[in-house]
Structure 1
Amino acid sequence: MKKDSFSKEQKLVSVVIPVLNEQDNIEHTFAELQKLFAKLSEYQFELIFTDNASTDESYAMLQTLQQAHPDLVRVFRFSKNFGYQASILTGYKKARGDAIVQLDCDLQDPPEMIADFLKLWENGYAVVYGVRTKRDENWLMEKTRKLFYRLANFLSEEPLPLDAGDFRLIDRKIMQALNYFHDAQPYLRGAISQMGFKQIGVEYERHRRLHGKSNFSIFSLTSLALDGILNHSIMPLRIASLIGVIVFPLSILVFFGYFIAKFLFSGTIPQGFTTIVLMLIISIGLNALLLGIIGEYMGRIYKQVKNKPLTIIDKQCDQYSEEDSNITPP
């Protein structure tokens, strides 16, 4: 491993940027960050790009950047798309900084806020995260996101920050704590918020993507929402148990009600075919719902037990990593 090239008097800040088909944004993002770094000359910086097996020219462009700026840019390309959260966590694990900042390559989160994050970090905050007061997107999607954040917070055993994404700064000690987490489907927003330490949110308006299109489909967003709810709460299981506790005595009451009515009103009560069908449909629906909730938890247990690598690095352009460190443990 090569010797660090930064001054020991200066703190090193790592900026982790996950990439998936961002060829239209890479050069602009790098140029904007260079301007910012020039203003923050009291710090040293490193850029860590984690490429989730892009199919465009993203990796070739990142290689060129690294060759031109070997002391600043570090690039890791995965063998396949391991997902957004795994990409961020791998970047965290590769970071050498005293503080680590996550920033998306599309610059919807303003990089100039990193200066504000650093000020709060110097004042003793271990986690500084962005709180989105407004997003430049359609009304339905914005309201759906807000609903998810509030639902996840309601179901969680510990409070989660509302309207906060992955745009954040974490102290080195947070990363050291994350090394003890072994999660096959990590949800970093919840994991970091539930660690404790001194945390604070900074409000901002999220911009519209300048180039390209979002890599998050409805399926991806739904999967992320499920991770957020199920990874940090057993409340859905408790709700399933509560439904069972409520439905069982009600079914007993209905049974005795029909039993008594059979003798008191035997001449006027119809055969009951419709009632039986309705009760069967309701019962099947409830069973499917409750088994689905249990199945989601069992699926996560199954993935956790398999203990597969979090990510596998296929190629890397980095002067600070060992050659054999191509597998990131879960």
Structure 2
Amino acid sequence: MTSSTATLVSILVPVFNEEANVDRAYNRITAVFASLPDHDCEIIFTDNHSTDDTHDRLLHIAARDDRVRIVRFARNYGYQRSVLMAYQKARGDCSIQIDCDLQDPPELIPQMLDLWRQGNQVVYGIRRSLPDGLAVATVRRIFYRLITALSDDRLPVDAGEFRLVDRKLLDEMRTIRDTSPYVRGVISAMGFTQVGFPYDRHDRVAGSSKFPLRKMIGLGLNGILNHSLVPLRMASAVGLTVGVSTMILIVGYLIGRLLFGQHWPAGFATTTMLLLLGITLNALFLGIIGEYLGRIYIQVKARPGPIVEMEVDRTPLHRFQQDRARTRRPNEDQPELIYKEVSG
């Protein structure tokens, strides 16, 4: 048991069928904190209902280390909802999200903590290299820039999920009830002082990626729809442009017929207008509007969030007391608010 004055860091590790990596991830994370005497950690594994031996491996790890917490969902709710739940359960002064495949090296955690102590509430890694193959790397870079260009919020380019988040933001994230969250965008939209640092992403240590190109494209579209109204505004802009173009064509047709006696084939103008206004625009923009309406429909149904099938938490009592001190409301009877302001 560490001193109650140590900085508690919540390490968030989402997993799905990572039996070959969970022990390696645990060993490398704990090795980092063994070299940080003034820091303690809790490691929260959110298991998206793995079907291999991932859960059994996690139980073995938690049995010998009470810093390890396990949250196993009743089914696979998707990466983003799993991550959001991890942030909402974090008890630390700050949290650091890291993937179990160790492509984001845990050895960079001390550097992230140094930047946090300098007064930055969010510290995120900027990927200099992407060892995922040309096609995947290209799609990633395109969507990073597309989301940034279209978003109403400032999203960092080439920044993935490897990030540190301060307690202030963690408290705000506990209030989020989003059925299709885009966590990267949620954190960026909160503001505060955010800083990035460049790093090289490593190859996956073992196993195969659970995030194929199809899911990557879906994540990119999710980010655009969650943080931008540009697609809806495009419908008005393109509709106006095509409408004006159609009026010009009609005027040109009338001038040609009245002044020059030009006769186009019967039904030409009508067919042109129908093709321009009826088929292309309706199909395209009804689809966009349908995406937004679908999200609204799912959100207002107020379905329950991710259901936890099993939770393992053997955290010592003193950490529960620290957590209570960090998160209690200002109007509660309290002798002292234990909260550390980070100064630059």
User: What is the CA-CA distance between 1:272 and the residue it aligns to?
Assistant: 5.3
Q: Distance in 1 between matches of 2:283 and 2:146?
A: 22
Q: 2:9 is paired with a residue of what secondary structure?
A: strand
Residues 1:51 and 2:47 aligned together: yes
- Matching residue's letter, 1:80: R
Distance 1:302 1:320 in 2: 39
8 Å CA contact 2:124–2:196 kept in 1: the answer is yes
Corresponding residue for residue 6 of structure 2: 10
The Cα offsets for residues 3-57 of structure 1, whole Å up to 9 and x where unpaired, read as xx65221111010100000001111111111211111121011110000011101
Unpaired segments of 5 or more residues in structure 1? 322-330
CA distance in 2, matches of 1:19, 1:141: 21
Matching residue's letter, 2:230: M
Structure 2: 5+ residue stretches without partners: 317-344
Deviation at 1:245, TM superposition (A): 1.4
Matched, 1:23 2:4: no
Aligned match for 2:209, one of 200, 205, 214: 214
Report the AA paired with residue 148 of structure 2.
N
Correspondent of 1:226 among 221, 242, 249:
221
Q: TM-score of the superposition, structure 1-length normalised?
A: 0.90
Distance 1:146 1:264 in 2: 54
**Distance in 2, Cα, partners of 1:268 & 1:233:** 46
Query: In the alignment, is residue 38 of structure 1 matched against residue 30 of structure 2?
Result: no
Code of the aligned partner of 1:154: A
For structure 1, which segment, 252-261 or 46-55, has the greater mean C-alpha deviation from structure 2 after superposition? 252-261
Quote the offset at 1:106 in angstroms.
0.2
Question: Normalized against structure 2, the TM-score is what?
Answer: 0.87
Q: Which residue number corresponds to residue 178 of structure 1?
A: 173
Q: Is the CA contact 2:122–2:193 (under 8 Å) kept in the aligned structure 1?
A: yes
Is the 2:179–2:299 Cα contact (8 Å) retained in structure 1?
Answer: yes
Paired residue secondary structure (1:204): strand
Q: Secondary structure at the match of 1:311?
A: coil
Per-residue CA deviation, residues 112-163 of structure 1 (Å, 9 max, x unaligned), is 1111111111111100001001111222321221111111111112221000
What is the aligned residue count? 315
Structure 2: distance between partners of 1:242 and 1:285: 14
Question: What do the CA deviations read for 1:63-111 (whole angstroms, capped 9, x no partner)?
Answer: 1111111x21100110001111111111111111111010100000011
CA distance in 1, matches of 2:214, 2:134: 19
Q: Deviations over 1:182-240 (max 9, x none)?
A: 32111111111111111100100111112111111233112211111111111111111
Q: Which residue of 1 aligns with 2:136?
A: 141
Question: Partner residue of 1:114?
Answer: 109
CA distance in 2, matches of 1:39, 1:6: 14
Match of 1:324 in 2: none
Aligned to 1:77: 72
Cα deviation, residue 263, structure 1: 3.9
Q: Secondary structure of 1:308's match?
A: coil
In structure 2, what is the Cα distance between the partners aligned to 1:167 and 1:268? 65
Q: Which residue of 2 aligns with 1:190?
A: 185
